[in-house]
Structure 1
Amino acid sequence: MNYRKIANTLSWVLHPFLLPVYLMAVLLTMTTFAHYSTQMKFYLMWVVALYAIVIPFLVLGVLHSLGRISSFKVDNRRERWLPLAVGIVCYILCAITFAKIPSAIFLRKFMVAAACCEAMCLVVSLWWKISLHLTGMGAVVALLVVMNIVGVGNMLIPLMVAILAAGALASARLYLGCHNGAQVLAGFCGGFVVAMLAVLFL
Protein backbone atom coordinates (compact mmCIF):
# COMPACT_ATOMS: atom_id res chain seq x y z
CA MET A 1 0.00 0.00 0.00
CA ASN A 2 1.12 3.56 -0.71
CA TYR A 3 1.02 4.90 2.86
CA ARG A 4 2.36 8.30 1.82
CA LYS A 5 -0.55 8.76 -0.58
CA ILE A 6 -3.02 7.77 2.14
CA ALA A 7 -1.40 10.17 4.60
CA ASN A 8 -1.50 13.02 2.07
CA THR A 9 -5.15 12.29 1.30
CA LEU A 10 -6.03 12.38 4.99
CA SER A 11 -4.17 15.67 5.37
CA TRP A 12 -6.19 17.26 2.57
CA VAL A 13 -9.57 15.72 3.44
CA LEU A 14 -9.16 16.81 7.08
CA HIS A 15 -7.58 20.16 6.24
CA PRO A 16 -8.37 22.98 8.71
CA PHE A 17 -10.12 24.90 5.90
CA LEU A 18 -12.66 22.08 5.49
CA LEU A 19 -13.38 21.18 9.12
CA PRO A 20 -15.81 24.10 9.77
CA VAL A 21 -17.87 23.04 6.74
CA TYR A 22 -18.02 19.43 7.95
CA LEU A 23 -19.06 20.49 11.43
CA MET A 24 -21.66 22.90 10.08
CA ALA A 25 -23.14 20.09 7.98
CA VAL A 26 -23.44 17.95 11.12
CA LEU A 27 -25.06 20.82 13.04
CA LEU A 28 -27.61 21.48 10.31
CA THR A 29 -28.64 17.84 9.95
CA MET A 30 -28.32 16.20 13.38
CA THR A 31 -29.22 18.91 15.89
CA THR A 32 -32.04 21.33 16.61
CA PHE A 33 -30.68 23.47 13.74
CA ALA A 34 -32.11 20.83 11.37
CA HIS A 35 -35.43 22.66 11.77
CA TYR A 36 -34.10 25.61 9.80
CA SER A 37 -35.54 26.04 6.32
CA THR A 38 -33.59 24.68 3.38
CA GLN A 39 -32.92 28.23 2.21
CA MET A 40 -31.46 29.16 5.62
CA LYS A 41 -29.27 26.03 5.66
CA PHE A 42 -27.83 26.86 2.23
CA TYR A 43 -27.19 30.43 3.36
CA LEU A 44 -25.36 29.30 6.51
CA MET A 45 -23.29 26.74 4.59
CA TRP A 46 -22.36 29.35 2.00
CA VAL A 47 -21.29 31.85 4.67
CA VAL A 48 -19.08 29.24 6.36
CA ALA A 49 -17.59 28.09 3.04
CA LEU A 50 -16.91 31.70 2.05
CA TYR A 51 -15.07 32.65 5.25
CA ALA A 52 -13.42 29.29 6.01
CA ILE A 53 -12.41 28.16 2.51
CA VAL A 54 -12.87 30.64 -0.34
CA ILE A 55 -11.37 33.81 1.14
CA PRO A 56 -8.44 32.08 2.96
CA PHE A 57 -7.60 30.07 -0.19
CA LEU A 58 -7.64 33.19 -2.35
CA VAL A 59 -5.43 34.97 0.18
CA LEU A 60 -2.97 32.06 0.12
CA GLY A 61 -2.90 32.34 -3.66
CA VAL A 62 -2.11 36.05 -3.49
CA LEU A 63 0.55 35.53 -0.81
CA HIS A 64 2.16 32.75 -2.86
CA SER A 65 2.20 34.88 -6.00
CA LEU A 66 3.84 37.71 -4.03
CA GLY A 67 6.44 35.34 -2.62
CA ARG A 68 5.27 35.78 0.98
CA ILE A 69 4.73 32.01 1.38
CA SER A 70 6.73 29.29 -0.33
CA SER A 71 3.94 26.70 -0.44
CA PHE A 72 0.18 26.44 -0.05
CA LYS A 73 0.87 23.98 2.78
CA VAL A 74 2.49 26.81 4.78
CA ASP A 75 4.81 24.35 6.50
CA ASN A 76 7.34 27.08 7.31
CA ARG A 77 6.57 28.36 10.81
CA ARG A 78 7.82 31.86 9.99
CA GLU A 79 5.38 32.16 7.07
CA ARG A 80 2.30 31.29 9.09
CA TRP A 81 1.52 34.53 10.90
CA LEU A 82 -0.10 36.37 7.98
CA PRO A 83 -2.36 33.47 6.83
CA LEU A 84 -3.37 32.89 10.45
CA ALA A 85 -4.12 36.59 10.95
CA VAL A 86 -6.36 36.51 7.87
CA GLY A 87 -8.05 33.40 9.26
CA ILE A 88 -8.79 35.16 12.54
CA VAL A 89 -10.39 38.09 10.70
CA CYS A 90 -12.46 35.75 8.52
CA TYR A 91 -13.83 33.80 11.49
CA ILE A 92 -14.66 37.02 13.34
CA LEU A 93 -16.52 38.33 10.29
CA CYS A 94 -18.37 35.03 10.08
CA ALA A 95 -19.32 35.29 13.76
CA ILE A 96 -20.59 38.84 13.19
CA THR A 97 -22.71 37.59 10.28
CA PHE A 98 -24.22 34.84 12.45
CA ALA A 99 -24.86 37.33 15.25
CA LYS A 100 -27.57 38.82 13.05
CA ILE A 101 -29.54 35.55 13.45
CA PRO A 102 -30.83 35.43 17.07
CA SER A 103 -31.39 31.65 17.05
CA ALA A 104 -27.85 30.94 15.79
CA ILE A 105 -26.00 31.94 18.96
CA PHE A 106 -24.23 28.57 19.16
CA LEU A 107 -23.08 28.91 15.55
CA ARG A 108 -21.62 32.31 16.46
CA LYS A 109 -19.81 30.72 19.41
CA PHE A 110 -18.47 28.06 17.06
CA MET A 111 -16.88 30.73 14.85
CA VAL A 112 -15.52 32.68 17.83
CA ALA A 113 -13.92 29.44 19.06
CA ALA A 114 -12.32 28.95 15.63
CA ALA A 115 -10.93 32.49 15.72
CA CYS A 116 -9.49 31.88 19.20
CA CYS A 117 -7.80 28.67 18.02
CA GLU A 118 -6.25 30.54 15.10
CA ALA A 119 -5.04 33.24 17.50
CA MET A 120 -3.50 30.60 19.76
CA CYS A 121 -1.69 29.05 16.79
CA LEU A 122 -0.46 32.46 15.64
CA VAL A 123 1.07 33.25 19.05
CA VAL A 124 2.65 29.81 19.43
CA SER A 125 3.98 29.87 15.85
CA LEU A 126 6.06 32.95 16.66
CA TRP A 127 8.36 30.66 18.68
CA TRP A 128 7.45 27.06 17.89
CA LYS A 129 5.80 24.97 15.18
CA ILE A 130 2.41 23.61 16.27
CA SER A 131 0.17 21.32 14.23
CA LEU A 132 -2.63 23.39 12.67
CA HIS A 133 -4.36 20.22 11.47
CA LEU A 134 -4.56 18.74 14.97
CA THR A 135 -5.55 22.09 16.47
CA GLY A 136 -8.57 22.03 14.17
CA MET A 137 -9.42 18.45 15.11
CA GLY A 138 -9.06 19.23 18.80
CA ALA A 139 -11.51 22.10 18.40
CA VAL A 140 -14.00 19.87 16.55
CA VAL A 141 -13.86 17.23 19.30
CA ALA A 142 -14.35 19.92 21.97
CA LEU A 143 -17.39 21.37 20.21
CA LEU A 144 -18.96 17.92 19.80
CA VAL A 145 -18.37 17.22 23.50
CA VAL A 146 -20.10 20.49 24.42
CA MET A 147 -23.03 19.68 22.15
CA ASN A 148 -23.43 16.29 23.84
CA ILE A 149 -23.40 17.92 27.26
CA VAL A 150 -25.87 20.74 26.52
CA GLY A 151 -28.18 18.41 24.61
CA VAL A 152 -28.57 20.19 21.27
CA GLY A 153 -28.46 16.78 19.62
CA ASN A 154 -27.11 13.25 19.93
CA MET A 155 -23.51 13.81 18.92
CA LEU A 156 -22.10 10.51 20.21
CA ILE A 157 -21.51 8.97 16.76
CA PRO A 158 -20.02 12.17 15.25
CA LEU A 159 -17.84 12.48 18.37
CA MET A 160 -16.54 8.93 17.97
CA VAL A 161 -15.86 9.56 14.27
CA ALA A 162 -14.03 12.80 15.10
CA ILE A 163 -11.82 11.10 17.71
CA LEU A 164 -10.91 8.30 15.28
CA ALA A 165 -10.27 10.86 12.53
CA ALA A 166 -8.02 12.84 14.88
CA GLY A 167 -5.99 9.73 15.61
CA ALA A 168 -5.67 8.88 11.91
CA LEU A 169 -4.71 12.47 11.07
CA ALA A 170 -2.08 12.57 13.82
CA SER A 171 -0.56 9.37 12.45
CA ALA A 172 -0.59 10.84 8.93
CA ARG A 173 1.15 14.05 9.97
CA LEU A 174 3.79 12.09 11.86
CA TYR A 175 4.30 9.68 8.96
CA LEU A 176 4.77 12.56 6.52
CA GLY A 177 7.35 14.10 8.83
CA CYS A 178 5.42 17.38 9.04
CA HIS A 179 5.49 17.36 12.84
CA ASN A 180 6.88 15.51 15.81
CA GLY A 181 4.81 13.97 18.59
CA ALA A 182 4.96 17.04 20.83
CA GLN A 183 3.71 19.35 18.06
CA VAL A 184 0.82 17.03 17.23
CA LEU A 185 -0.17 16.58 20.89
CA ALA A 186 0.12 20.30 21.61
CA GLY A 187 -2.06 21.08 18.60
CA PHE A 188 -4.86 18.71 19.63
CA CYS A 189 -4.82 19.64 23.32
CA GLY A 190 -4.50 23.35 22.57
CA GLY A 191 -7.39 23.29 20.10
CA PHE A 192 -9.54 21.29 22.52
CA VAL A 193 -8.94 23.54 25.53
CA VAL A 194 -9.18 26.87 23.66
CA ALA A 195 -12.36 25.88 21.79
CA MET A 196 -13.97 24.54 24.98
CA LEU A 197 -13.22 27.73 26.93
CA ALA A 198 -14.33 29.96 24.06
CA VAL A 199 -17.70 28.22 23.68
CA LEU A 200 -18.36 28.20 27.42
CA PHE A 201 -17.28 31.74 28.29
CA LEU A 202 -17.35 33.94 25.14
Structure 2
Amino acid sequence: MWEEAQSRLAVLVSVLLHPAAVAVALFLLLTLCYHDNFLATFGTATFFVLLAPVGITALMRALGGVSDLDITDRRERLLPYALITACYLGGAFSLRWAGAPREVVAAMACYFTVTAVCTVITAFWKISMHMAGIAGPVVVASLLLPKTALLSILLIPLVAWARLVLRRHTPSQIAGGAAVSALVTFLTLLAFGLAP
Protein backbone atom coordinates (compact mmCIF):
# COMPACT_ATOMS: atom_id res chain seq x y z
CA MET A 1 0.00 0.00 0.00
CA TRP A 2 2.81 2.41 0.90
CA GLU A 3 4.66 1.58 -2.33
CA GLU A 4 1.52 2.22 -4.38
CA ALA A 5 0.95 5.59 -2.69
CA GLN A 6 4.61 6.48 -3.18
CA SER A 7 4.40 5.54 -6.85
CA ARG A 8 1.26 7.64 -7.38
CA LEU A 9 2.87 10.62 -5.71
CA ALA A 10 5.99 10.17 -7.86
CA VAL A 11 3.85 10.14 -11.01
CA LEU A 12 2.09 13.31 -9.86
CA VAL A 13 5.42 15.04 -9.18
CA SER A 14 6.76 13.94 -12.57
CA VAL A 15 3.69 15.30 -14.35
CA LEU A 16 3.45 18.58 -12.44
CA LEU A 17 7.19 19.19 -12.74
CA HIS A 18 7.50 17.94 -16.31
CA PRO A 19 10.17 19.98 -18.13
CA ALA A 20 7.56 21.65 -20.39
CA ALA A 21 5.40 22.65 -17.40
CA VAL A 22 8.42 24.00 -15.54
CA ALA A 23 9.43 25.98 -18.64
CA VAL A 24 6.02 27.63 -18.89
CA ALA A 25 6.10 28.54 -15.19
CA LEU A 26 9.63 29.94 -15.52
CA PHE A 27 8.74 32.08 -18.53
CA LEU A 28 5.58 33.29 -16.81
CA LEU A 29 7.62 34.49 -13.83
CA LEU A 30 10.35 36.00 -16.01
CA THR A 31 7.83 37.78 -18.21
CA LEU A 32 5.93 39.13 -15.21
CA CYS A 33 9.18 40.38 -13.69
CA TYR A 34 10.96 41.70 -16.78
CA HIS A 35 8.14 42.11 -19.30
CA ASP A 36 8.09 44.69 -21.99
CA ASN A 37 5.07 43.32 -23.85
CA PHE A 38 3.64 40.59 -21.63
CA LEU A 39 1.26 38.84 -24.04
CA ALA A 40 3.63 38.76 -27.00
CA THR A 41 6.63 37.71 -24.92
CA PHE A 42 4.88 35.04 -22.86
CA GLY A 43 2.90 33.79 -25.87
CA THR A 44 6.04 33.41 -27.96
CA ALA A 45 7.90 31.66 -25.15
CA THR A 46 4.98 29.31 -24.48
CA PHE A 47 4.77 28.34 -28.14
CA PHE A 48 8.45 27.41 -28.29
CA VAL A 49 8.77 25.66 -24.90
CA LEU A 50 5.39 23.93 -24.71
CA LEU A 51 3.26 23.81 -27.82
CA ALA A 52 5.95 23.02 -30.39
CA PRO A 53 7.87 20.42 -28.31
CA VAL A 54 4.70 18.65 -27.14
CA GLY A 55 3.37 18.76 -30.70
CA ILE A 56 6.58 17.20 -32.03
CA THR A 57 6.50 14.44 -29.43
CA ALA A 58 2.79 13.73 -29.96
CA LEU A 59 3.22 13.62 -33.73
CA MET A 60 6.18 11.27 -33.45
CA ARG A 61 4.16 9.07 -31.09
CA ALA A 62 1.26 8.98 -33.57
CA LEU A 63 3.65 8.09 -36.40
CA GLY A 64 5.33 5.37 -34.34
CA GLY A 65 8.64 7.18 -34.03
CA VAL A 66 8.55 7.00 -30.24
CA SER A 67 7.00 4.37 -27.98
CA ASP A 68 5.67 6.75 -25.33
CA LEU A 69 5.35 10.45 -24.66
CA ASP A 70 8.16 10.38 -22.07
CA ILE A 71 10.45 8.87 -24.73
CA THR A 72 11.83 6.40 -22.20
CA ASP A 73 13.82 4.47 -24.82
CA ARG A 74 17.14 6.30 -25.25
CA ARG A 75 17.48 5.13 -28.86
CA GLU A 76 14.25 6.94 -29.77
CA ARG A 77 15.33 10.26 -28.26
CA LEU A 78 17.78 11.67 -30.80
CA LEU A 79 15.39 12.90 -33.50
CA PRO A 80 12.74 14.42 -31.22
CA TYR A 81 15.40 16.01 -29.01
CA ALA A 82 17.15 17.46 -32.07
CA LEU A 83 13.84 18.92 -33.28
CA ILE A 84 13.04 20.29 -29.83
CA THR A 85 16.53 21.81 -29.66
CA ALA A 86 15.75 23.57 -32.95
CA CYS A 87 12.48 24.85 -31.40
CA TYR A 88 14.40 26.44 -28.54
CA LEU A 89 16.87 28.05 -30.93
CA GLY A 90 13.94 29.39 -32.96
CA GLY A 91 12.40 30.62 -29.73
CA ALA A 92 15.53 32.51 -28.72
CA PHE A 93 15.78 34.20 -32.12
CA SER A 94 12.04 34.97 -32.18
CA LEU A 95 12.14 36.51 -28.73
CA ARG A 96 15.22 38.55 -29.63
CA TRP A 97 13.62 39.71 -32.87
CA ALA A 98 10.43 40.67 -31.00
CA GLY A 99 12.43 42.80 -28.57
CA ALA A 100 11.87 40.63 -25.50
CA PRO A 101 13.91 41.47 -22.41
CA ARG A 102 17.45 40.08 -22.33
CA GLU A 103 16.60 37.88 -19.34
CA VAL A 104 13.82 36.14 -21.26
CA VAL A 105 15.96 35.67 -24.38
CA ALA A 106 18.79 34.32 -22.21
CA ALA A 107 16.48 31.82 -20.52
CA MET A 108 15.35 30.52 -23.92
CA ALA A 109 18.99 30.33 -24.99
CA CYS A 110 19.61 28.21 -21.89
CA TYR A 111 16.93 25.78 -23.03
CA PHE A 112 18.67 25.59 -26.40
CA THR A 113 22.19 25.02 -25.05
CA VAL A 114 21.17 22.53 -22.36
CA THR A 115 19.02 20.48 -24.74
CA ALA A 116 21.73 20.54 -27.41
CA VAL A 117 24.33 19.20 -24.97
CA CYS A 118 21.94 16.62 -23.52
CA THR A 119 20.99 15.47 -27.03
CA VAL A 120 24.64 14.78 -27.83
CA ILE A 121 25.06 12.91 -24.53
CA THR A 122 21.89 10.93 -25.26
CA ALA A 123 23.56 9.41 -28.31
CA PHE A 124 25.79 7.51 -25.87
CA TRP A 125 24.05 7.51 -22.50
CA LYS A 126 20.56 8.03 -21.10
CA ILE A 127 20.71 11.30 -19.20
CA SER A 128 17.71 12.43 -17.15
CA MET A 129 15.88 15.16 -19.05
CA HIS A 130 13.48 15.60 -16.13
CA MET A 131 16.46 16.55 -13.97
CA ALA A 132 17.90 18.73 -16.71
CA GLY A 133 14.46 20.32 -16.99
CA ILE A 134 14.41 21.28 -13.32
CA ALA A 135 18.08 22.03 -12.54
CA GLY A 136 18.53 24.55 -15.36
CA PRO A 137 15.40 26.54 -14.48
CA VAL A 138 16.47 26.52 -10.82
CA VAL A 139 19.77 28.15 -11.83
CA VAL A 140 17.88 30.71 -13.95
CA ALA A 141 15.45 31.41 -11.11
CA SER A 142 18.23 31.67 -8.54
CA LEU A 143 20.11 34.26 -10.60
CA LEU A 144 17.28 36.19 -12.25
CA LEU A 145 14.44 35.72 -9.75
CA PRO A 146 16.33 35.50 -6.44
CA LYS A 147 13.19 35.62 -4.29
CA THR A 148 12.24 32.22 -5.73
CA ALA A 149 15.66 30.63 -5.15
CA LEU A 150 14.99 28.71 -1.94
CA LEU A 151 11.67 27.29 -3.05
CA SER A 152 12.95 26.37 -6.49
CA ILE A 153 16.07 24.63 -5.13
CA LEU A 154 13.82 22.33 -3.09
CA LEU A 155 12.28 21.05 -6.34
CA ILE A 156 15.53 19.35 -7.38
CA PRO A 157 15.51 16.58 -4.74
CA LEU A 158 11.75 16.19 -5.18
CA VAL A 159 12.09 15.46 -8.91
CA ALA A 160 15.12 13.21 -8.27
CA TRP A 161 13.10 11.23 -5.74
CA ALA A 162 10.18 10.84 -8.16
CA ARG A 163 12.37 9.63 -11.02
CA LEU A 164 14.08 7.10 -8.73
CA VAL A 165 10.79 5.81 -7.31
CA LEU A 166 9.45 5.35 -10.84
CA ARG A 167 12.70 3.61 -11.85
CA ARG A 168 13.03 5.85 -14.91
CA HIS A 169 16.68 6.60 -14.20
CA THR A 170 19.67 5.48 -12.20
CA PRO A 171 21.19 7.79 -9.59
CA SER A 172 24.06 8.59 -11.99
CA GLN A 173 21.64 9.53 -14.80
CA ILE A 174 19.78 11.80 -12.40
CA ALA A 175 22.97 13.42 -11.10
CA GLY A 176 24.27 13.77 -14.66
CA GLY A 177 21.11 15.51 -15.86
CA ALA A 178 21.18 17.96 -12.96
CA ALA A 179 24.92 18.67 -13.18
CA VAL A 180 25.07 19.14 -16.95
CA SER A 181 22.00 21.35 -16.97
CA ALA A 182 23.14 23.51 -14.06
CA LEU A 183 26.62 24.02 -15.53
CA VAL A 184 25.49 24.71 -19.10
CA THR A 185 22.75 27.06 -17.87
CA PHE A 186 25.21 28.99 -15.72
CA LEU A 187 27.68 29.31 -18.61
CA THR A 188 24.92 30.46 -20.96
CA LEU A 189 23.75 33.12 -18.51
CA LEU A 190 27.38 34.15 -18.05
CA ALA A 191 27.67 34.63 -21.81
CA PHE A 192 24.65 36.95 -21.63
CA GLY A 193 26.24 38.90 -18.77
CA LEU A 194 23.60 37.68 -16.33
CA ALA A 195 25.73 35.53 -14.01
CA PRO A 196 28.41 36.65 -11.56
**Considering the TM-score relative to the shorter chain, is it more than 0.5?**
yes
**Which amino acid in 2 is paired with 1:194?**
V
- The answer to whether the 8 A contact 1:21-1:49 is kept is yes
Match of 1:20?
23
Quote the Cα distance in structure 2 between the aligned partners of 1:44 and 1:9. Answer: 29
Aligned match of 1:5: 8
1:101 Cα deviation from its structure 2 partner: 4.1
Contact kept, 8 Å, 1:98 with 1:105, in 2: the verdict is no
Pairs within 5 Å for 1:72-111: 72-102=69-99, 104-111=101-108
Tell me which amino acid in the other structure corresponds to 1:4.
S
Query: Do the aligned partners of 1:134 and 1:169 also contact (CA within 8 Å) in 2?
Result: yes
TM-score under structure 2 normalisation?
A: 0.91
Q: Of 112, 116, 119, which aligns to 1:119? A: 116
Q: Which moved more, 1:102-111 or 1:118-127?
A: 102-111
**Is 2:167 aligned against 1:177?**
yes
Tell me what 1:137 maps to. 134
- Please, which runs of 5 or more residues in structure 1 have no aligned partner? 148-152
Mapped contact 1:18–1:53 kept (Cα < 8 A): yes
Identity of aligned residues (%): 24
**Structure 1 residue 146: Cα displacement:** 2.4
Partner of 2:47: 50
TM-aligned CA deviation for residue 82 of structure 1? 1.1
Counterpart secondary structure, 2:168? coil
2:155 corresponds to which of 136, 146, 165: 165
Aligned length: 189
Q: CA RMSD in A?
A: 1.5
- Structure 1 residue corresponding to 2:182, chosen from 184, 192, 196: 192
1:74-106 superposed Cα distances (whole Å, 9 cap, x missing partner): 011111111111111111111111112446122
Label 1:57 to 1:118 Cα distance change in 2 as closer, same or farther (>3 A).
same
Q: Distance in 1 between matches of 2:11 and 2:178?
A: 19
2:27–2:46: 8 Å Cα contact kept in structure 1? no
CA separation in 2, counterparts of 1:161 and 1:87? Answer: 28
| One-letter amino acid matched to 1:146 | L
Kept after mapping to 2: 8 A contact 1:92/1:115: yes
